[in-house]
């Protein structure tokens, strides 16, 4: 019987080739999209699950509150790890990790800048389950100068497993020896590094900062493993006691340490800036899941619509089978098997398509998905359930409709439609397709407009033709020599050394107090030199920029931004001139001599924070070089030559400031790319179904069209015959889609401090795009029918 079902299924599919191909294409695209979305969501939801103790691993984080508000840090002061081990002995394990920006590696004649570096203590592998391939000693990361490499880094630079025992220099300061090689970290690990150096290697001289005091909190992360049945609340109380003992609450401010679950890190946006890799808003994950389901449903809708429409052509076949003794269940099973065969074929084709497009998806979406995930148990279960669900969703209703025909009626009369319910359902399903496509089109337009706003809004500083260099030393003499070498060429307009550019990953926060005010407030601190304003094109709102170079500990002068003047209570920037500010760097207490106009220090998601700028050479970590627009290649060659003459032992590396700014919106760009793809897929699948459905209706009404043409009907009236109903459906769909999209996009835009206004224009353009696509799709088939010779459709009667 199964063999007979298979033969009949293949025969019927071949008999209706056009509808079969449309169904196959639609389901293949829909299932492929669903598989990719599943792989993405599964990867996101499985972050850090490979750790056997994942449910008991926590990160110690910081919550600081003072007069200017609340600040969250994923890091803690360096002494915290030792204190936790001593004062909270019930903790099973405690490990400490430090993450710098990058260091130079020198091995024999080979030099390169290594960005993915972390420092960790000997308890690291007691907490995390990363696989070691080879080691040269039993106890790792206990001594100064030890390093573990990932397999890929060992292969790229150190001859694979032969790397064990090799010695190289880190940052031109410390010799380190390879004591272990580990597997590359899983892509779903929130920790990401290629080089793990022993924590005792760190020193104030090596880092260039005193990172070992309770006053420093940046880049140092503590992870703990609670004992079995350990209470998170109990240990949070213990952290409160630690705070009171070692870092008492200052007046008008409070610091709180508490535990953050490991599985919360990837989806918690509060600590996004403190993560080794990207964080993901869980809302996006679930929205993506719903969109994937909707796209799959659209593909199933095509199948249902075409199958119920084709049921009219198969009415006599059903009647004959029933006369010959076929039961309803046998007929339903026969037609359900057709749906299963198409679905299975589509699902198998989808695996090949997913494998082919995976590199494109990874590049375009900035993710690291692997086709090998299809061998995992979770995917196999999902795949089987997907095939069964699509088969039932797309095949069950048409099979019931076909099996319900009365044989006498089916054989004696010509059925023009299955029934009113079926016709209403088809229209409703087409309307659903219109709703989904309009939501995606309008959302894509809004996201595109916000992305354009990101790139076009003035940021308060110049970002074009500025080259950013990571300075290898804090030696003021060498830095001055380097600046002079750069300025020897007229291709270089200006040079500035600072903690970082106006927008930079190098940031420093500090408490401050205004003169006569005992309240502690937060501000961003930028150590800058006298050429910072000229290089980055800052504008003064009041007072003057620095007039002389700061020397040693002589009297400091401060420049603040407009937000700072408002924070300390001045209605006009001019009123702040002469006001004294006290803040954390070296306990500086100095007057404000100038106020710059506000500029954006981060993405437009965040409001401009109060800012203090002062000249402080020990914190000059970044160089900015403004070059002329006429000869960029020549200017870059001159910069590289100047670097080689002053810093021959260091690797030359650079990036452009406008690229740094663009990176602030990588996640939003990924969302935009995603919506463009999904909107295109939804429209394509919808068009396929519409083409098939209208083509069938044209065939069904060919004689009616012939009569109308003989009676003088115009092409436009024939178009209205087929298109009027769809235009009404389009308007109804718009009335449903518009409030849904407005609500969703308004919520998305609310996450940005600076954003576009949600205008009705986006919705108008959205329905026009959808309407144009529908008109072209329906119109092509309608005009084709209208231009046909009426004799061909009437000659049989």
What's the per-residue H, E or C state across 482-507? HHHHHCCCCCEEEEEEECCCCCCCCC
Contacts of 149 (CB under 8 A, 6+ apart): 158, 163, 178, 180, 181, 182, 194, 195, 196
Closest CA to 60 of 246, 269, 223, 240: 223
Instruction: List, for residues 77-116, the tens digit of each pLDDT value.
Output: 888 999 999 999 889 999 999 988 788 888 888 888 888 8
Maximum Cα–Cα distance for the chain, whole Å? 107
Residue 224 pLDDT > 80: yes
Cα 648 → chain centroid: 38
Per DSSP, the three-state class of 556 is coil
**What does DSSP say about strands 117-120 and 253-261: parallel, antiparallel, or unpaired?**
unpaired
Domain ends where: 621, 649, 677? 649
> Please, what's the b/e burial string for 618-631 (b: 16 or more CB within 10 A of its CB; e: otherwise)?
ebbbbbbbbbeeee
pLDDT category of residue 74 using cuts at 50, 70 and 90: confident
Domain ends where: 649, 671, 697? 649
Provide the pLDDT for residue 477. 92
Per DSSP, the three-state class of 543 is strand
Provide the pLDDT for residue 126. 95
Q: Do residues 109 and 232 both lie within one domain?
A: yes
Instruction: List, for residues 311-321, the tens digit of each pLDDT value.
Output: 666 655 666 66
Average pLDDT, the chain: 83
Q: Are 129 and 186 in contact (CB under 8 A)?
A: no
Residue 6 pLDDT > 80: no
Residue 111 lies in a domain: yes
Residue 418 pLDDT > 70: no
Q: Do residues 121 and 136 both lie within one domain?
A: yes
Residue, of 526 and 397, whose pLDDT is higher: 526
Cβ burial, residue 177 (10 Å; 0-12/13-18/19+)? middle
Lowest mean pLDDT among 398-402, 638-642, 791-795: 791-795
Most confident of 160-164, 620-624, 703-707: 620-624
Residue 398 pLDDT > 90: no
Residue 410 pLDDT > 70: no
Residue, of 495 and 653, whose pLDDT is higher: 495
Residue 477 lies in a domain: yes
Q: Do residues 180 and 247 both lie within one domain?
A: yes
Residue 414 pLDDT > 60: no
Residue 161 pLDDT > 60: yes
Q: Do residues 236 and 303 both lie within one domain?
A: no
Q: Do residues 227 and 289 both lie within one domain?
A: no
Instruction: List, for residues 319-372, the tens digit of each pLDDT value.
Output: 666 565 566 666 667 777 778 888 899 999 999 999 999 998 888 877 788 888
Lowest mean pLDDT among 319-333, 387-401, 419-433: 319-333
Q: Do residues 227 and 115 both lie within one domain?
A: yes
Provide the pLDDT for residue 668. 80
Residue 184 pLDDT > 90: yes
Q: How far apart are CA 410 and CA 402, in angstroms?
A: 11
Q: Do residues 195 and 251 both lie within one domain?
A: yes
Instruction: List, for residues 767-796, the tens digit of each pLDDT value.
Output: 999 888 888 877 777 776 666 666 555 565
Residue 622 pLDDT > 90: yes
User: How much is the average pLDDT of 383-395?
Assistant: 87
Instruction: List, for residues 724-780, the tens digit of each pLDDT value.
Output: 778 888 899 999 999 999 999 998 898 888 999 999 999 999 999 988 888 887 777
Q: Which long-range contacts (CB under 8 A, 24 or more apart) does 561-566 make?
A: 561/595, 561/596, 561/597, 561/598, 561/599, 561/608, 561/610, 561/611, 562/595, 562/596, 562/597, 562/598, 563/598, 563/608, 563/609, 563/610, 563/611, 564/523, 564/595, 564/610, 564/611, 564/612, 565/595
Residue 68 pLDDT > 60: no
User: How much is the average pLDDT of 19-43?
Assistant: 88
pLDDT category of residue 698 using cuts at 50, 70 and 90: low
Provide the pLDDT for residue 336. 79
Q: In this structure, what DSSP letter does residue 528 have?
A: B
Residue 4 pLDDT > 90: no
Structure-block tokens of residue 168: 């190289």
Give phi and psi for 255, each to the nearest 5.
-115, 130
Domain ends where: 265, 293, 310? 265
Residue 463 lies in a domain: no
Quick one: what percent of the chain has pLDDT higher than 70?
A: 82
Q: Do residues 526 and 574 both lie within one domain?
A: yes
Q: Do residues 234 and 291 both lie within one domain?
A: no
pLDDT category of residue 620 using cuts at 50, 70 and 90: very high
DSSP-derived secondary structure for 755-771 = -----HHHHHHHHHHHH
Q: Do residues 167 and 239 both lie within one domain?
A: yes
Residue 746 lies in a domain: no
Q: Are 701 and 721 in contact (CB under 8 A)?
A: yes
Q: Do residues 33 and 118 both lie within one domain?
A: no
Residue 720 lies in a domain: no
Residue, of 73 and 327, whose pLDDT is higher: 73
Instruction: List, for residues 645-690, the tens digit of each pLDDT value.
Output: 999 988 898 999 999 898 888 878 888 888 888 888 888 888 877 7
Q: Do residues 407 and 507 both lie within one domain?
A: no
Provide the pLDDT for residue 120. 96
Q: Are 595 and 543 in contact (CB under 8 A)?
A: yes
How many distinct structural domains can be found in the chain? 3
Residue 117 lies in a domain: yes
Residue 765 lies in a domain: no
Residue 328 structural domain: 1-47+280-418
Provide the pLDDT for residue 92. 92
Residue 98 lies in a domain: yes
């Amino acid at each position: 019987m199964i063999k007979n079902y298979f033969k009949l299924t293949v025969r019927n599919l071949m008999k209706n080739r056009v509808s079969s191909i449309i169904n196959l294409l639609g389901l293949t695209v829909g299932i492929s999209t669903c598989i990719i979305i599943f792989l993405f969501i599964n990867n996101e939801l499985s972050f850090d699950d490979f750790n056997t103790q994942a449910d008991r691993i926590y990160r110690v984080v910081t919550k600081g509150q003072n007069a200017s508000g609340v600040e969250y840090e994923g890091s803690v002061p360096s002494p915290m790890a030792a204190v936790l081990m001593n004062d909270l002995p019930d903790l099973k394990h405690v490990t400490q990790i430090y993450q710098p920006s990058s260091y130079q590696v020198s091995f024999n004649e080979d030099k390169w800048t290594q960005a993915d570096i972390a420092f960790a203590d000997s308890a690291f592998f007691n907490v995390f389950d990363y696989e070691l391939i080879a080691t040269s000693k039993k106890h790792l990361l206990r001594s100064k100068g030890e390093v573990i490499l990932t397999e890929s880094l060992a292969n790229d630079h150190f001859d694979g497993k032969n790397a064990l025992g090799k010695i190289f220099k880190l940052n031109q300061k410390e010799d380190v020896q390879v004591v272990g090689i580990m597997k590359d970290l899983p892509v779903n690990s929130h920790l990401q590094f290629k080089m793990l150096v022993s924590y005792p290697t760190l020193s104030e001289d090596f880092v260039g900062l005193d990172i070992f005091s309770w006053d420093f909190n940046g880049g140092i992360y503590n992870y703990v493993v609670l004992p079995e049945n350990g209470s998170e609340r109990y240990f949070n109380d213990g952290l409160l006691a630690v705070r009171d003992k070692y870092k008492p609450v200052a007046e008008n401010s409070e610091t709180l340490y508490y535990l953050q679950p490991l599985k919360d890190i990837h989806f918690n946006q509060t600590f996004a800036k403190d993560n080794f890799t990207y964080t993901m808003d869980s809302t996006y994950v679930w929205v993506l899941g719903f969109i994937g389901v909707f796209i799959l449903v659209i593909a199933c809708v095509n199948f249902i619509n075409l199958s119920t429409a084709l049921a009219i052509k198969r009415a006599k076949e059903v009647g004959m089978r029933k006369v010959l003794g076929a039961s309803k269940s046998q007929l339903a099973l026969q037609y359900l098997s057709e749906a299963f065969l198409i679905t299975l074929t589509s699902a198998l084709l989808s695996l090949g398509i997913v494998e082919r497009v995976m590199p494109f998806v990874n590049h375009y979406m900035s993710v690291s998905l692997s086709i090998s995930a299809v061998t995992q148990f979770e995917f196999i279960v999902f795949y089987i359930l997907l095939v069964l669900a699509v088969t039932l969703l797309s095949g069950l209703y048409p099979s019931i409709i076909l099996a319900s025909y009365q044989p006498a009626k089916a054989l004696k009369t010509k059925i023009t439609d299955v029934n009113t319910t079926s016709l209403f359902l088809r229209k409703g399903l087409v309307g659903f397709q219109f709703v989904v496509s309009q939501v995606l089109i309008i959302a894509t337009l809004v996201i595109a407009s916000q992305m354009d706003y990101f790139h076009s809004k003035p940021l308060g500083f110049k970002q074009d033709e500025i080259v950013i260099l990571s300075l290898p030393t804090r030696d003021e003499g060498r830095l001055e020599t380097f600046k002079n070498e750069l300025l020897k060429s007229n291709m270089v307009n200006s040079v500035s050394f600072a903690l970082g550019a106006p927008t930079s990953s190098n940031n420093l926060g500090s408490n401050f107090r205004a003169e006569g005010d005992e309240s502690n407030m937060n501000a961003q601190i930028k150590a800058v030199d006298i050429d910072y304003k000229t290089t980055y094109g800052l504008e003064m709102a009041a007072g003057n920029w620095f007039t002389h170079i700061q020397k040693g500990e002589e009297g400091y002068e401060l420049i603040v931004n407009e937000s700072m003047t408002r924070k300390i209570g001045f209605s006009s920037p001019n009123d702040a001139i002469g006001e004294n500010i006290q803040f954390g760097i070296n306990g500086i207490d100095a007057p404000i001599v100038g106020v710059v106009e506000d500029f954006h220090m981060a993405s437009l998601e965040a409001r401009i924070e109060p800012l203090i700028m002062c000249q402080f050479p020990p914190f000059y970590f970044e160089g900015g070089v403004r070059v002329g627009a006429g000869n960029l290649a020549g200017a870059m060659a001159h910069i590289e030559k100047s670097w080689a003459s002053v810093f021959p032992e260091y690797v030359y590396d650079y990036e452009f400031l406008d690229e740094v700014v663009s990176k602030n919106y990588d996640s939003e760009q990924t969302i935009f790319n995603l919506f463009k793809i999904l909107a295109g897929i939804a429209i394509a699948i919808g068009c396929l179904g519409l083409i098939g459905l209208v083509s069938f209706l044209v065939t069904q009404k060919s004689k009616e069209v012939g009569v109308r043409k003989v009676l003088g009907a115009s092409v436009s009236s024939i178009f209205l015959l087929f298109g009027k109903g769809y235009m009404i459906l389009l308007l109804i769909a718009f009335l449903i889609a518009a409030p849904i999209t407005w609500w969703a996009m308004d919520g998305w835009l609310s996450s940005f401090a600076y954003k576009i206004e949600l205008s009705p224009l986006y919705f108008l353009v959205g329905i026009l795009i959808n309407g144009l696509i529908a008109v072209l799709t329906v119109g092509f088939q309608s005009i084709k029918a209208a231009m046909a010779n009426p004799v061909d459709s009437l000659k049989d009667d």
